Amino acid sequence: MRHVTDGELHAFVDGSLDLLPDGRGSEVRDHIASCSVCQERLQDEEAVRAQAQDLLKGPAVPEVDLPSFEELRERAKAQGRPEPEAGPEEGEAPRYRGPLRGVPLAWAATIVLALGVGWMGGQIGSTVSRGNPILPATQRYEDADVSSLQRANLGTEPEGTVGNSAFPPGVATPPPPGEQEPVPEGAGQGGRVEGPPGRVDALAASPEGAGADPLPEAEAEAGVAKPSDSPASTDPMLSSARVNSSILLQELNAPSPDSQARLYSTASRRSQTGASEAESQIPDSLENSLAVPGLKVVSIEWEERVPGEKALLVRQLLSPGDTLELRYLGMLLSGDAEVSPLRETRGSLEEASGGLTYANILEASLPAEWHQVVMEWGRGLLVARAPMTEQNLKALLKTLH
Amino acid sequence: MSVDWGEVYRTSFEELFRFLHRKVWDPERARDLAQEVFVRALRHEPENPRAWLFRVASNLARDEARMVIRRKKHLALLRTEAEDQGGERGPEERVLEEEEWEQLRSALNTLNERDRELLLLWDAGLSYREMAEVTELSPGAVGTTLARARRRLVDAHSGSEKENAARN
């Protein structure tokens, strides 16, 4: 006689026989009723279940005043949280209405890539410190060392660059050729780069899973950056990084909406002349615009610590065992060139409390010796975290496109 | 279908609060987190509201617990709480309650995070399907994992009781 399996027995004990295939539930019930061996197993399981239940009930939870539902609703209104909107259901991918509609998406998660006025630019909004880091001499990320750190990490192979890519090949291509211009020769020497107005190119995003484990130690397995095989002076990544730094510093010194559009247009054009020889799974335009130049990108993925608050998490390798985490909040846009509904409802940054709350949650889980910097990033936020001083982290962020 | 959050609140808020209390072991913080979860809930329409609530709660509690550990105030809070719980119960009764809490907490701490999570979700009354959604286990794996977690909890508690008895 075939006895019920442990799984079937547990389902019976917990009243979840409906999970078993059709008809199997009643078979399990009938068998247990007629089998002494299974009845003994059942009694043992039920005894453990009852003991565990008693333990967990335990002493009463200390009394505190619990809010009424009306109080919660008032609090939600006070925080400016809108009523649930019509839109994609939880877990569904947002509808994509952009020019890449119809492109087959092999993966569940894709990236939103926005080109638009007002998206770029940054201003140090707030910072969070966590004491004085004790860094080995080789890991002193001084301002002057930022560029040398980047040079040390250049030249890594595109293959295997991303440990946990959310990007299928061929997705999120740069803007059509008609809107691109070659990078002027003077760009690397500090000249301003003019460009066409930005166009919104967006893909649907639907991360799977939520609540990514924030433990930084998990990224240590990214490994050591390979030394460059080609002279640094001819390395296109380094050239690209120099162009990025030069342009960004100029724009940060004199920010304006036009300059922000130019910044992003430059970044996307640079992807056309970038160093990506292999078919990288990460679009060059994305890496160039969201990652600190010169540092190996370990992963780019969606993170959702709280449903409804999605962050694009870019992890980059600083040195073996140390990573830089860049989280972009409030970036989701529709595929159309017009301002998306998300932007319209967000309003001012002060009202975008979701992103700030996300940043607060990140701050709460900041590991020892790490620092966090929160920046306004267009209409969203950039939350950067790394095992370095706040000053050095800010210096590193200046090299972002 | 629109979620009737009022109904969800009536049927789930206390369980959510208990669940969070067994995560952060601070009743006021648990209440605040439960409030935060529901305030966020009011702008979402998840397919499975209860699973959604507990998933969010689990995430918030995980970050909260790390913060508390880093600030090293958890034990101090427990002591303060015991002192503040005034004259309704005698000191012996309070000590006994504290001991029971400590035993439960110690037994739970012997489990891995997944087992602990499943037990607390089960204690909160979630179904296998809901637990599967929160923990990202398959519904089929929930039963066996849960059964193992229960046994480990009971064994851990029995073990600590024997130790206490031997000491006394």
User: Tokens at residue B35, please?
Assistant: 């409030």
On chain B, the residues whose CB falls within 8 A of the CB of A61 are 17-18, 21, 27, 30
Strand A380-386 and strand A371-377: the pairing is antiparallel
Indicate whether A180 pLDDT > 90.
Answer: no
CB spacing of B43 vs A307 below 8 angstroms: no
**Confidence tier at A329 by pLDDT (50, 70, 90):** confident
Instruction: Determine the pLDDT at residue B73.
Output: 53
DSSP single-letter state for residue B35:
H
CB spacing of A52 vs B153 below 8 angstroms: yes
Per-residue pLDDT tens over the stretch A56-80 = 987 777 777 888 899 888 888 887 6
**Confidence tier at A125 by pLDDT (50, 70, 90):** very low
Query: A64-73, A104-113, A297-306, B35-44: lowest mean pLDDT where?
Result: A104-113
What lies within 8 Å, CB to CB, of A212 at 6+ separation is A301, A303, A304, A305, A313
Q: How far is residue A58's CA from residue A157's CA, in Å, rounded to a whole number?
A: 56
On chain A, the residues whose CB falls within 8 A of the CB of B30 are 61, 64
CB of A208 closer than 8 Å to CB of A141: no
Q: How far is residue A23's CA from residue A1's CA, in Å, rounded to a whole number?
A: 18
Query: A314-318, A320-324, B91-95, B133-137: lowest mean pLDDT where?
Result: B91-95
Q: Which of A45, A37, A47 is nearest to A4 (CA)?
A: A37
CB spacing of B42 vs A55 below 8 angstroms: no
* Closest-CA residue of chain B to A78: B39
**Confidence tier at A286 by pLDDT (50, 70, 90):** low
Count Cβ atoms below 10 Å from residue A83 Cβ, excluding itself. Answer: 9
- The answer to whether residue A178 neighbours chain B at the CB level (below 8 Å) is no
Task: Give ipTM to 2 decimals.
Answer: 0.83
Distance from CA of A262 to the nearest CA of B (A): 36
pTM of the predicted model as reported, rounded to 2 decimal places: 0.46
Tell me which of A9, A10, A53, A353 to substitute to probe the interface with B (most B C-beta atoms closer than 10 Å). A10
Of B47, B66, B85, the CB nearest to A62: B85
Residue with the two structure tokens 């509808």: A95
Q: What is the mean pLDDT of chain B?
A: 83
- Tell me the CA distances in angstroms from B15 to A40, A48, B105, one per residue in order: 32, 22, 18
Indicate whether A383 pLDDT > 50.
Answer: yes
* Amino acid at site A2: R
Q: How far is residue A285's CA from residue A274's CA, in Å, rounded to a whole number?
A: 9
Of B39, B97, B120, the CB nearest to A76: B39
The DSSP result for A99-132, as a single string, is TTTT----SS--------TTSS-EEEEEEE--S-
- Tell me the CA distances in angstroms from A15 to A47, A48, A238, B127, one per residue in order: 15, 15, 62, 9
The alpha carbon of residue A58 and the mean position of all alpha carbons in its chain are separated, in whole angstroms, by 40
- The answer to whether residue A102 neighbours chain B at the CB level (below 8 Å) is no
Q: How far is residue A253's CA from residue A123's CA, in Å, rounded to a whole number?
A: 11
Instruction: Determine the pLDDT at residue A353.
Output: 57
Strand A296-306 and strand A380-386: the pairing is unpaired
Backbone Cα Rg of chain A: 26
User: Tokens at residue B120, please?
Assistant: 């607390």
Q: What is the mean pLDDT of chain A?
A: 61
User: Tokens at residue B24, please?
Assistant: 């952060």
* Amino acid at site A344: E
Q: What percent of chain A has pLDDT over 70?
A: 41
Q: What is the mean pLDDT of residues A183-209?
A: 40
Q: What is the mean pLDDT of residues B103-120?
A: 91
- Tell me the CA distances in angstroms from A134 to A214, A325, B17, B29, one per residue in order: 21, 19, 39, 32
Q: How far is residue A34's CA from residue A2's CA, in Å, rounded to a whole number?
A: 12
Cross-strand pairs, A303: A311
Residue positions counted in chain B: 168
Q: Which of A206, A15, A30 is nearest to A110 (CA)?
A: A206
Distance from CA of A136 to the nearest CA of B (A): 23
